[in-house]
Amino acid sequence: MPKRTGEKYKAIIEAAIKVIAENGYHGSQVSRIAREAGVAEGTIYLYFENKEDILISIFREKLGELIALAPKKLNKIENSFEVLANLIHLHFSTFQNNRRLAHVLQIELRQSDKSIREGIAEVIREYYRLIEEVVRAGMDKGYFKADLDPKVARKVIFGSMDEVATCWVLSRRRYNLLGMAEQVYCFLARALARDGNGDPYPPQLKPGK
């Protein structure tokens, strides 16, 4: 029965992203997160069940935004290649825009216990469904191969994006993640395209498209 709303809730989320990105999950004491958020230690527990719940909530809030945003952006696009391109773009720009968040989601979140994996499972499954939907639509419309297994396709798509994002976060060099979008798109588009499909090549990826 934590509150899970309000200004302090958000402040704690943001503080946690910062502190955890800098010190890792296990290196981030609740007291430190509280100080960074400008609230008392006990206040944390008015908004979150426990320390793990903070991590889960970061995931839910932030990836939730992505998942909520995606259908709006993708549904109105007819061409499935364009949809794929935009999906990748959206995924990468979420991280590009908040490197700390990217670090927490790609690295720290995975350091955690089974209970955390369970806590995020529902949200991640929704993202999975979203990607599978994109694949299915492409198959139905004739853009993609008709005999794909959407689940395997989803794993290839998500796995590719995830690996690219992780490498980006861990890299010392601060290259542009969005710059990878087109290349990743090329790979995935060719992997999915129907044989003889005239043009699986990337539509121009433009931010916000």
Partner DNA sequence: CATGAATGAGGATTCATTCAT
Partner DNA sequence: TATGAATGAATCCTCATTCAT
Contacts with a second copy, residue ranges (CB under 8 A): 24, 26, 110-114, 117, 149, 152-153, 155-156, 158-164, 167, 170, 180, 183-184, 187-188, 190-193
Structure tokens of 142? 């004739």
**Count of positions (residues) in the chain:** 209
CB of 146 to a second copy, least distance (A): 13
Helix axes 80-96, 178-192, angle to 10 degrees: 150
Query: 144 by DSSP, 3-state: which?
Result: strand
Considering the complex, state which of residue 9 and residue 144 has its C-beta at the smaller distance from DNA: 9
CB of 110 to DNA, least distance (A): 17
Considering the complex, state which of residue 18 and residue 73 has its C-beta at the smaller distance from a second copy: 18
Residue 3's binding partner, choosing from DNA, a second copy, none, with beta-carbon cut-off 5 to 8 A by kind? DNA
Considering the complex, state which of residue 45 and residue 158 has its C-beta at the smaller distance from a second copy: 158
Residue 164's binding partner, choosing from a second copy, DNA, none, with beta-carbon cut-off 5 to 8 A by kind? a second copy
Q: With binding defined as CB under 7 A, does residue 115 bind DNA?
A: no
d(CA 91, CA 131): 11
CA-based nearest residue to 38, from 66, 9, 63: 9
**Alpha-carbon separation of residue 159 from 42, 62, 63, 72, 109 (angstroms):** 39, 19, 16, 23, 16
Residues 10 to 69 in contact with DNA, rule: CB under 7 A: 27-31, 39-46, 50-52
Cα atoms found within 13 Å of the Cα of residue 29, Cβ hemisphere only? 6
Residues binding DNA: number (CB under 7 A): 19
Residue 40's binding partner, choosing from DNA, a second copy, none, with beta-carbon cut-off 5 to 8 A by kind? DNA
Considering the complex, state which of residue 34 and residue 135 has its C-beta at the smaller distance from DNA: 34
Cα atoms found within 13 Å of the Cα of residue 81, Cβ hemisphere only? 23
Contact 2, 48 (CB under 8 A): yes
Question: Helix, strand, coil shares of the chain as percentages rounded to 5?
Answer: 70, 0, 25
Residue 11's binding partner, choosing from a second copy, DNA, none, with beta-carbon cut-off 5 to 8 A by kind? none
- The contact set with DNA (CB under 7 A) reads 3, 6, 8, 27-31, 39-46, 50-52
